Amino acid sequence: MEGLAPLYSQMFSGKRLLVAESGYFLTDEVRQKLCELGAIIVSPVHDLEHASDLIEANDLDAAILDLNLEADQVFPLVERLGRQKLPYLFALGGEPIDADTNFAGFVLSERPAALDHIAKALFGIPDKDT
């Protein structure tokens, strides 16, 4: 985690992140680092119905979705995120799976600990003036 570019770390400040996961692919270390960088983890959820409720109830900035979630459940959630124009990415802690890439926000991070990759995927390239 050392060497994270200051511009990327600033990108997490104040951002409300929904984390939907099938297990604990986002390690405690990564979760803690995100919080240290100012991210607000709305709720790590394992139930996609609960995730849908959180999308409706909260002012979210982005979502990180575990690709090991059941496809028939996760892709309707992705459609909801897309309708609300919320950036999201798929992350996984294990082997890649075959996934439908017909979603505009589709980004795959095979390294959930790569916070600079996650920041760029969710929030774009930071403006050097911010």
Query: What is the distance between the alpha carbons of residues 33 and 28, in angstroms, rounded to a whole number?
Result: 8
107, pLDDT greater than 90: no
Does residue 38 surpass a pLDDT of 50? yes
Q: In the predicted model, is pLDDT for residue 15 greater than 90?
A: yes
3-state SS record for 48-109: HHHHHHHHHHCCCCEEEEECCCCHHHHHHHHHHHHHCCCCEEEECCCCCCCCCCCCCCCCEE
**Are 40 and 16 in contact, with CB atoms under 8 Å apart?**
yes
Q: Are 115 and 30 in contact (CB under 8 A)?
A: yes
Residues 56-103: tens digit of each pLDDT: 876 899 988 877 777 777 888 888 888 888 898 887 655 444 555 554
Q: Kindly list the domain boundaries of the chain, sorted by start residue.
A: 6-94+103-123
Of the options 3.30.830.10, 3.40.50.970, 3.40.50.2300, 3.20.80.10, the CATH number for the domain spanning 6-94+103-123: 3.40.50.2300
Instruction: Name the nearest CA neighbour of 91 among 6, 31, 13, 5.
Output: 31
Helices and strands: H and E segment counts in the chain: 5, 5
Residues 28-37 have pLDDT tens digits of 777 788 888 8
pTM score: 0.72
Position 130 scores a pLDDT of: 46
